[in-house]
């Protein structure tokens, strides 16, 4: 019954989550005031899985290893490219991670964005948020993050774009978000972190930001709920409904 009720709430729209015991329940009429909205890329703005799977299976073929279905690869996403390749190769070829990573990055760089698709309402919603301070924080290498956003004509919406590869720990560590808010001169408490995985929620909370999870991406609703985001969205288009002003 709980799962059915949760699915109904998500189908109806915005699901507002309860805060920890002793705190008041959030209500639909509540709006939050923020100076910066930081958004994840893979699984939040766009379905990048087809391009990720194509690059991963290219690496497998070149290494003479079995390919994997997109659904299996979906479960490997998170923690950056190296972690993806480590999961992809598993115990079959742990000594070939560097070679596999090189093959993966070569293919992904040459085909980044070809099979990637925006989730419904993303471009329109970013347009509605014009005038607000928006940024992207991804575990994808920063050069690939920028390349993907450019391919989808989204880079123009963002004040800052941050990804992996700069020596800062990846999500769920809060360091990347903390550095981003510091660089932009925004207090973490006036920041909203939006993403599809528990790692995004943990990053936001660890940095002192508000958090919103999207239920349509690569994280499942149960794991997102367990991460206790401040808000859970069924659709990206509901994001402006959270914001005051």
Active site residues: 40
Output the CA angle 43-46-49, nearest 5 degrees.
65
Q: How many angstroms separate the CA atoms of 106 and 127, rounded? A: 33
Tell me the CA distances in angstroms from 14 to 102, 165, 229, 237, one per residue in order: 41, 35, 13, 10
Binning the chain into helix, strand and coil, the percentages to the nearest 5 are 50, 15, 35
Strand pairing report for 46-47 and 117-118:
antiparallel
CA 197 – CA 43 distance, rounded (Å):
8
Cα 217 from chain centre? 8
The H or E element containing residue 47 is strand 46-47
């Amino acid at each position: 019954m709980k799962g059915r009720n949760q699915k109904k709430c998500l189908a109806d729209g915005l699901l507002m989550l309860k805060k920890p015991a002793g705190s008041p329940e959030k209500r639909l009429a509540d709006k939050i005031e923020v100076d910066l909205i930081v958004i994840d890329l893979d699984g939040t703005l766009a379905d990048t899985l087809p391009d990720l799977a194509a690059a991963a299976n290219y690496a497998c073929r070149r290494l003479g290893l079995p390919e994997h279905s997109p659904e299996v690869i979906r479960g490997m996403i998170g923690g950056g490219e190296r972690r993806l390749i480590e999961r992809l190769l598993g115990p079959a070829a742990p000594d070939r991670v560097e070679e596999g990573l090189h093959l993966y990055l070569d293919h992904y760089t040459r085909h980044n964005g070809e099979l990637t698709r925006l989730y419904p309402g993303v471009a329109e919603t970013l347009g509605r948020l014009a005038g607000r301070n928006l940024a992207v924080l991804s575990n994808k290498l920063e050069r690939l993050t920028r390349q993907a956003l450019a391919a989808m004509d989204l880079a123009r919406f963002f004040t800052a774009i941050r990804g992996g590869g700069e020596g800062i720990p990846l999500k769920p560590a809060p360091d990347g978000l903390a550095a981003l808010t510091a660089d932009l001169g925004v207090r973490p408490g006036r920041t909203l972190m939006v993403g599809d995985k528990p790692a995004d929620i943990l990053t936001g909370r660890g940095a002192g930001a508000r958090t919103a999870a999207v239920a349509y991406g690569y994280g499942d609703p149960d794991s997102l709920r367990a991460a206790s985001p401040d808000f859970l969205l069924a659709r990206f288009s509901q994001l402006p409904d959270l914001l005051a002003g």
